[in-house]
Structures are given as structure tokens and as C-alpha cells.
Structure 1
Amino acid sequence: MNGVVESLKRKEKVEEDLYFAKRDRELLQAMHRQQVRPLAGEPVVIVSGGQTGVDRAALDAAMALGLPVGGWCPKGRCAEDGPIAPQYPLRETPSRDYAERTAWNVRDADATLILYRNALSGGSLLTAKLARRAGRPLLVRDLSEGFDATSAARWLTTNQVRVLNCAGPRESGASGIYAQALEGLKGLFALWAERAKLLS
């Protein structure tokens, strides 16, 4: 039975990787066609796609500190745990395609931070590819090796980031990553917001 389950998981991963590879060029073209629209003129803004796991942790960490949040989510406010709650002020893309909102969040941010564990895959890998090809600053951190909020805040300040896109695995793909990311991001956002105020 375990062998069948593992085989299905491998098959799903291959299909997912093929899908993202196929969409990669199309999404990059769409990013260049769309005009970048900065979010509201706040000192710092955190955006994400609202999915469970790292996306949701970023929004919750920012909101707990009173920082503005935003971002794009799929049409219907889709997430693996049901429609994204209205407390998260995310805008819907025209389609239910997760990859579309991934591209639009990269596009509308000054930089992207990806938190993951062990290996990048799926949507997190696509996010990294899109950020690199669009020439956006990108910071990728493996939480299994710990998270240094001070060095991450320094990176944000050095790159003069005001709108940060946060991404990473959903909770079902990395159990416990929401809590782990939430703790690290609260520390990061507090440091970043304070430095941004001093520089503004």
C-alpha cells in the first residue's frame, strides 16, 4: 500500500513539474506585457498569494505588527483549506490558475523572499525562476537550517525594498511550516519596518 501511495506522489510531482515548465515561458511573457503597479504608498508592504503555509504566515505576521498587506490570489480566492478569508485583502486574478497569481505577485513586488525546507519544488520553484528571470532581488532560505532575521532585514534594506513578496510551500506539503515561518517573519518584519522608517 505504501508503495502505491509513494508511486502516486511521484507521479503527481512529475506532472506538476511538467505543468510549471510548460507555463514558465507564457507567464514570463505575461509579466513583461503587464505594467507594474506599485501597491499603496506605505513604508513597507507584504504581499503573498494567501495559500496555507508560508503565504499565510507572511500575511499573519505582517498583520500582527500592524503592517499593510496585499497581493494576488486565484479567482474565487482559492486555497487548499477553502476560500481565503476576507480579512486578507487580496485581489483576485482573472483565472483560478495558481501560477498566474504567482507571476503577478512577483511582478508587483520589489523583491521576493522564499522560505522552504530541504528542496525547492512546485510553486516555490516557479516563484524563484520568475523572480530571477524578471531581474527582481530574490532571497531563498531553507528553514531546516534556521533563519537569520537580522541578515534578511539587512538584505531588504540594502535592496531598498518597500514591497516584499513572500512565498513557500503550502502546509500540506511541509507540515508545521506555517508556525516556523510565522516566528521568523515576525522578527524579520519588525526589524525591516523599523529600518525603513529610519530611512524614509
Structure 2
Amino acid sequence: MDLGGRAGEGSHPPRILPVEERIAVVSGGQTGVDRAALDTALDLGLPCGGWCPRGRRAEDGPLPGRYPLRETPTAAYPQRTEWNVRDSDGTLVLHRGRPRGGTALTLRLAGRYGRPALAVDLARSPEAEAVRQWIARERIARLNVAGPRESEHPGIHGQAARFLHDVLAHN
């Protein structure tokens, strides 16, 4: 789905959601989009968690302890990806260009599990409000957030974190 427009344009002033309306963020802890999702959730005081590979494996070494993730039985990334899709109400994939590798796998798994999924191309200046409406329409309480790692798309952590803050900190 193509979400055009610039994030934050014409939006209302930020308002942190009441606790009973807060969404839980699920992610796998890899650098890039996964880490941006967890960092944003922690910054906003949102519940967060998810699965990571055994040994807390990530491309930059073991995942820091501040991220409250559980380890899968294997060190393989696909199992982590599948379990995060399976254990969530819906998946938001943030990417640049065409999703590939683990990012594309995430979208296929969402289809296999019958979970709603929304792919947002950050290179197209998406609108945070459209994502908020999708979350509300699909009644997502546990949102899996996934996308490429930082080494594949340098700067995507910061870009994803800014976008996610706009999505999750507004009503």
C-alpha cells in the first residue's frame, strides 16, 4: 500500500495515549527498523517485547539487555520473524523501495497466518495518520514492526524512529 504525503503535515499536536488505549510494540531486535520500534516504544513508555534469535543474535552482536525480548530455541532469524508475526495482531513493515529478504518474508508470513499487514515505503513520505487509521480499523493491540536492518539501508533506524514516534505518540 502506498501512503503518500508527509508525516505530521496537518496533524494535531501530539498527545500521549491513555494507558488503556496504548498499543504494545513487538519486534525482533535487529538493527534498523526493529531496533527503532523498540527504542520508540521504550521512549514513549509503551509496552514492548517479542522474540529474538537464541543468543540474542543481531548483526551488531548480542542484543543489549534493555530490550525485553525472549529468545527462540534456534539462532535462525526466520523463526524469530515467524513467531513475532504469529504472536501479534498485525504487522507494520517499514521499508525503502521493494521489500526483500527477511522483510519480504515478514509480509508472506503475515498472509500465511491471516494477520493484517501494512507495508509503508519510507522513501515516499508516508502519512502517520493513515497508519494510525489502519491500526484502529484492524483493532491491533499488539503491533509487530519489522523492516530492513541498518547495514542494508543506512539511516533507516533514525527515519523509522521519527515516523513511528509520529504514529504512536498521537491520537
Conservation of the 8 A alpha-carbon contact between 1:42 and 1:68: no
1:163 matched to 2:146? The reply is no
Q: Which has the higher helix share?
A: 1
Counterpart among 52, 63, 86 of residue 84 in structure 1: 63
1:182 matched to 2:155? The reply is no
The CA RMSD over aligned residues, in Å, is 1.2
- 2:97 alignment counterpart: 118
Listed one character per residue, the Cα deviations across residues 4-59 of structure 1 (whole Å, up to 9, x for unaligned) are xxxxxxxxxxxxxxxxxxxxxxxxxxxxxxxxxxxxx9842001000000000000
Say which is worse superposed, 139-148 or 95-104, in terms of deviation: 139-148
1:134 matched to 2:113? The reply is yes
- 1:70 alignment counterpart: 49
Q: TM-score, normalization: structure 2?
A: 0.86
Per chain length, whose mean CA-contact separation is higher, i.e. which structure has more relative contact order (CA < 8 Å, sep 6+)? 2
Counterpart among 94, 103, 107 of residue 82 in structure 2: 103
Conservation of the 8 A alpha-carbon contact between 1:114 and 1:124: yes
Residue 172 of structure 1 aligns to a residue whose secondary structure is coil
**Percent of residue pairs bearing the same amino acid type:** 53
Segments of 5+ residues of structure 2 without an aligned counterpart are 1-19
Listed one character per residue, the Cα deviations across residues 119-151 of structure 1 (whole Å, up to 9, x for unaligned) are 110000000000012110000011110121111
Listed one character per residue, the Cα deviations across residues 150-194 of structure 1 (whole Å, up to 9, x for unaligned) are 110010001110000000000000111001000000010112xx4
The amino acid across from 1:166 in the alignment is V
Segments of 5+ residues of structure 1 without an aligned counterpart are 1-40, 195-200
Pick the structure with greater CA Rg.
1
Q: Counterparts of 2:21 and 2:72 in 1: how far apart (Å)?
A: 23
Q: Counterparts of 2:21 and 2:66 in 1: how far apart (Å)?
A: 19
Q: TM-score, normalization: structure 1?
A: 0.74
Residue 55 of structure 2 aligns to a residue whose secondary structure is coil
The amino acid across from 1:165 in the alignment is N
Count of residue pairs the alignment pairs up: 152
Conservation of the 8 A alpha-carbon contact between 1:54 and 1:177: yes
